[in-house]
Structure 1
Amino acid sequence: MSDPATTGTPVRRRYRFREYHMTAVVDPMSLPIFEAVCVTGEDHDCGVTSGELHAEEELTRWIAEHCAETGHDFYHCTTRATLRAEPGAWQ
Structure 2
Amino acid sequence: MTDAKNADVPARGIARGRYRFREYHVTTVPDSLLLPAFTALCVTGEERSCGATSGTLHTLDEVTRWIAGHCAQTGHQHYEQTVRAILRAELGAWQ
Is residue 62 from structure 1 mapped to residue 66 from structure 2 by the alignment? Answer: yes
* 1:15-55 CA-partner distances (Å, limit 9, x unpaired): x9876521110111001100010000000000000000011
Q: Which has the higher helix share?
A: 1
How many Å separate the matches in 2 of 1:64 and 1:48? 13
1:27 matched residue in structure 2:
31
For these two proteins, the number of residue pairs brought into alignment is 76
How many Å separate the matches in 2 of 1:29 and 1:81? 11
Question: Radius of gyration: which is bigger?
Answer: 2
How many Å separate the matches in 2 of 1:74 and 1:51? 17
How many Å separate the matches in 1 of 2:56 and 2:29? 22
SS in 1 for 2:92: strand
Structure 2 residue identity aligned to 1:59 = V
Identical-pair percentage: 64
How many Å separate the matches in 1 of 2:42 and 2:31? 29
Query: What TM-score do you get using the length of structure 2 for normalisation?
Result: 0.72
Is residue 47 from structure 1 mapped to residue 51 from structure 2 by the alignment? Answer: yes
Query: What TM-score do you get using the length of structure 1 for normalisation?
Result: 0.75
